[in-house]
Amino acid sequence: MTSPLGPIELEVITGTIRSAEVEIEAAVERAARSPMIRDQHDYRVGLYDARGRKLTGRSYGSLVEPIFEFFGDDINPGDVFFWNDPYNSAGSCGHIPDLCTTVPIFYGERLLGFAQVFGHHDDVGGCVPGSLPVQVRDQWGEGLVVPPIRLYHKGVLDEQAFRIIERNSRLPEHLRGDLDSEIGACQLGSRRLIELADRYGVEALEGAFDAIIENCAATIRSELLPKIEDGVYTFEDYIECDGFTRKLYALRLTMTKTPEKITLDFTGTDPEAEGPINWAIDYCEGRFVRKWMGPVLRCLADSPERAAEIDINEGVLDVIDVVFPEKGTLVTPHFGRPTGLRFFILIRSLGVFAGALAKATGGRMPADHETIRIWGLHSREKDGRLSLFREVLGGGGPGRPWADGSDVVHIVPNSRNLPAEFSEQRYPVMIERLALRTDSAGAGRRRGGFGYDKRVRVLRDSMLLSNADRSELSPYGVNGGLAGRPYGVSIEDADGNVRSLPGMVDDVPVKAGDVVRLWTSGGGGWGDPLEREPELVAYDVRCGLVTRQAAEADYGVILTQDTPDADVQVDVEATERLREQRRRDREELPMFDRGEHYRKVRSDGGLIWPEGWSDPDDWPAAPAEAASAAAT
């Protein structure tokens, strides 16, 4: 096919590429060995063109640029490239457990593109099982670091390299099985692009790649950018600990919006940390972080349905620019600084972008969320083998202008918690409770989602790990909405004594019979809680999600006193009186609410802004009529 493709052919090619990525994911899950990959879906896949441009926005993926940087044009059919080095991956492998496998796709002798899988693997060495130590001062304590290498050369496996990688894992059979599944899945994806080239011709297919990417940029410029007022906006958010020091570590953003572009400037971000909360993204023109943050713009689409249709692929690079501070900050760390818990600042980057956009759109952005943290237990089997029970736990999603937040959502695409039955069969644990956490959601006209309430009885002496932020700070509310409740973890012994733990801990002893209780954070609320429909509040009370006390304190809703919670009704007249009184007595609503811990830190002088930086929270909520229009 030599003529330009029409819109129907282009849509077919686009859909086929997306379907091929789904097929790659299915192949990984069917053959992988580790629960982290196979069951919890903590991995990403991607199809790229020959220039390394990602063709879909289904998953944020890694980058292909390390291949060009380290191997140039020496790319052959049958090659498989591999790396996990945070400082030699063009900013795309944020921490060492993320292993990246990439297969070049050839049509005859012509390089057509690349298929890639990268995922969070169970263990790649380091000083703590699971390779996410909290108290570590450099990346070599986090595990085996592999710069970009050729794991297969023209179809021949480098057995020596593979043995080195496998030998450095406490769970080598998991690692080998996962890598084999990922390589096989990439090869499957390669065949799907070759089939497209057979059907349409290489020239036409490469023209379709260009059109797919150009359409993304054009859609953002025509549909989303006009909804953001031109200007300069600042926002910041925080990580509460680096593993050694409990203080607020600030990620700061200055967003400059023009009719054609958005520039994101991280100047003012705090210095690099001693512990593993750094994120090395100042490589390759910041392409990874620009593509990672770009999908936030979809929140400005005309409807949720339209947002789901907008694919943020490589074309977003034509719309978003980034400016980094000099070396030595949380996002520009020096080589070797630890990065294992970089997912804290990864999520903060979405929050600072959304916060700046909230200012620029009259509050028409979702609130904050903390929808990833990792906890686990490790012990030894009778034969000495490691038992590593570990979960990526989600939390409440953000309240949005158009809807309440989703409950216990996971930010990793399509990821999920471990089923209780699987956990109990495979590990020495008993899941005694798995429920939604009452009153965890931030109140608002559209409340946040609820976090987990999980209780796990430990059946063998073990060591507990917790890699969690937002254990003191709360996910912020927007446009008058209230903050959600933070994460918590505690251990209850056989005598009923309860010991609360920080969010970030390594190797805390847990005795057989002890109960570990985990609460994950609720999403921030959106909009004035006094504007929420009273019947929706009563419904949440009937479901056991909101207490009567919170209904009155947060929403100003009075419920009937002579009925059980399951049958409760709204006292309409008392509710209207209470709400009217509160509206008269309160001050102007703020655009952002960060919760009680933030207010305490601030009042105690724990926040120090750089010279020339003003309080980014000094911004009022949008007027009620504007908020109503946004919600509609």
pLDDT tens digits along 46-94:
999 999 999 998 777 789 999 999 999 999 999 999 999 999 999 999 8
* Distinct helix (H) and strand (E) counts, the chain: 15, 21
Looking at the predicted structure, is the pLDDT value of residue 627 above 70?
Answer: no
Q: Over the stretch 393-415, which tens digit does the pLDDT of each residue have?
A: 999 999 999 999 999 988 766 67
pLDDT given for residue 58 in this prediction = 76
**What is the rounded average pLDDT of the residues 171-197?**
96
pLDDT per residue as tens digits for the range 512-524:
999 999 999 999 9
Asked if pLDDT for residue 630 goes beyond 60, the answer is no
1-10, 222-231, 234-243, 591-600: segment of lowest average pLDDT: 1-10
Q: Indicate if the pLDDT at residue 2 is higher than 50.
A: no
Q: Is the pLDDT of residue 8 over 90?
A: yes
pLDDT interval class at 631 (50, 70, 90): very low
**Residues contacting 578, CB < 8 A, separation 6+:** 552, 556, 558
Segment 612-616 shows an average pLDDT of 89
Angle in degrees, CA 86, 87, 90, rounded to 5: 90
**pLDDT-based confidence at residue 624 (cuts at 50, 70, 90):** low
Q: Please give the pLDDT value at position 30.
A: 93
Is the predicted pLDDT of residue 4 greater than 90, yes or no?
no
pLDDT reading at 502 higher than 80: yes
Q: Work out the average pLDDT over 165-185.
A: 96
Task: Identify the residue with better confidence: 446 or 606.
Answer: 446
Q: Is the pLDDT of residue 294 over 60?
A: yes
Token digits of residue 312:
């943020």
DSSP per position, 187-243: HHHHHHHHHHHHHH-HHHHHHHHHHHHHHHHHHIIIIIGGGS-SEEEEEEEEEEE-S
- Per-residue confidence at 632, pLDDT binned at 50, 70, 90? very low
Measured CA angle at 289 (ends 288, 295), to 5 deg? 105
Q: How far, in Å, CA of 248 to CA of 239, rounded? A: 6
DSSP 8-state symbol, 314: G
Prediction pTM value: 0.96
Model confidence at 629, pLDDT cuts 50, 70, 90, reads low
The pLDDT of residue 392 is above 60: yes
Q: What pLDDT, on the 0 to 100 scale, is given for residue 564?
A: 86
- Using CA atoms, how far residue 119 sits from 27, 53, 99, in Å, is 14, 19, 6
Average pLDDT, the chain: 95
Rg of the chain over all Cα atoms, to the nearest angstrom: 25
φ, ψ at 610 (rounded to 5°):
-65, 160
pLDDT band at residue 506 under the 50/70/90 scheme:
very high
371-391: average pLDDT = 94
